[in-house]
């Protein structure tokens, strides 16, 4: 799924949802889809997530107090995905409204709860400031949902279980599909941007060598 985050039971103590770079780059991020375990204290963590998100401020990018500016052109699609999710019993702990007083491309930071795979926001790119929270019971369930999506820029894992970290990281397939070509964030992601050439030399008298 686009910008997919799997979170297990570590969100306590000095760890918090804001440790994830959520909604920081509205013009770049597609959106975040969180997988939260069913045995987690879901109500407490969602409430904490909402409070952490409230510290951000949408506004004019030239205003030093603003943490989030306008979307490029995704307000209509953002509203479409929110409305679709709500019509299918998603909850809205925070946000969900455009901010026309700032301009036509501004939208509130929004959190959706009880998201499932039948909602558009679970399988389409939103390009808006929306965090979608879904529950999972097993790692198989998470991997299946993530890998079945036609788009996928990145996947993130927050866990205190080292075994889970290795297992899940080997199973998630992201950074390719219809979102773009190449695995970004490493030297291998550069390969799609270069043309490899072969130059063969030999059996010649070198007349001149420039500065190399």
Which parts of the chain fold into alpha helices (H)?
42-53, 75-87, 120-123, 139-148, 162-171
Q: Which residues contact 169 (CB under 8 A, 6 or more apart)?
A: 157
Task: Give the CATH number, domain containing residue 44.
Answer: 3.40.309.10
Could you give the CA distance from residue 26 to residue 200 in angstroms, rounded to a whole number? 48
> Is residue 210 one of the residues assigned to a domain?
no
> Is residue 125 one of the residues assigned to a domain?
yes
Highest mean pLDDT among 85-89, 111-115, 125-129: 85-89
> Is residue 27 one of the residues assigned to a domain?
yes
> Is residue 105 one of the residues assigned to a domain?
yes
> Is residue 207 one of the residues assigned to a domain?
no
> Is residue 160 one of the residues assigned to a domain?
yes
Could you give the CA distance from residue 85 to residue 132 in angstroms, rounded to a whole number? 9
Kindly report the pTM of this predicted structure: 0.73
> Is residue 205 one of the residues assigned to a domain?
no
At 18, list the tokens. 């804001």
> Rounded to the nearest 5 degrees, what angle is found at the Cα of 22, between the Cα atoms of 191 and 126?
75
Q: What is the mean pLDDT of residues 41-46?
A: 65
DSSP-assigned letter for residue 71: -
Q: What is the mean pLDDT of residues 53-79?
A: 89
At 51, list the tokens. 């409070």
Could you give the CA distance from residue 45 to residue 165 in angstroms, rounded to a whole number? 21
3 state SS of 68: strand
Domain count, the chain: 1
List the domain range (segments joined by +) for residue 86. Answer: 4-193
> Is residue 204 one of the residues assigned to a domain?
no
């Amino acid at each position: 799924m686009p910008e997919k985050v799997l979170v297990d039971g570590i969100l306590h103590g000095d760890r918090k949802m804001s440790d994830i770079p959520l909604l920081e780059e509205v013009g770049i991020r597609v959106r975040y889809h969180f997988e939260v375990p069913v045995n987690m204290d879901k109500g407490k963590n969602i409430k904490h997530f909402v409070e952490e998100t409230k510290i951000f401020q949408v506004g004019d990018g030239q205003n030093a107090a603003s943490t989030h500016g306008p979307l490029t052109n995704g307000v209509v699609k953002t509203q479409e995905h929110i409305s679709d999710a709500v019509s299918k019993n998603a909850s809205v702990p925070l946000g969900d409204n455009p901010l026309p007083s700032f301009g036509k491309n501004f939208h509130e930071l929004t959190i959706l709860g009880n998201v499932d795979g039948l909602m558009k926001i679970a399988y389409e790119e939103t390009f808006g400031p929306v965090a979608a929270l879904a529950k999972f019971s097993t790692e198989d369930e998470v991997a299946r949902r993530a890998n079945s999506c036609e788009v996928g820029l990145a996947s993130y894992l927050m866990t205190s279980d080292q075994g889970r970290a290795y297992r899940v990281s080997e199973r998630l397939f992201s950074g390719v599909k219809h979102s773009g070509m190449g695995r970004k964030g490493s030297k291998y992601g550069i390969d799609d941007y270069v043309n490899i050439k072969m130059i063969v030399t030999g059996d010649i008298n070198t007349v001149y060598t420039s500065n190399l």
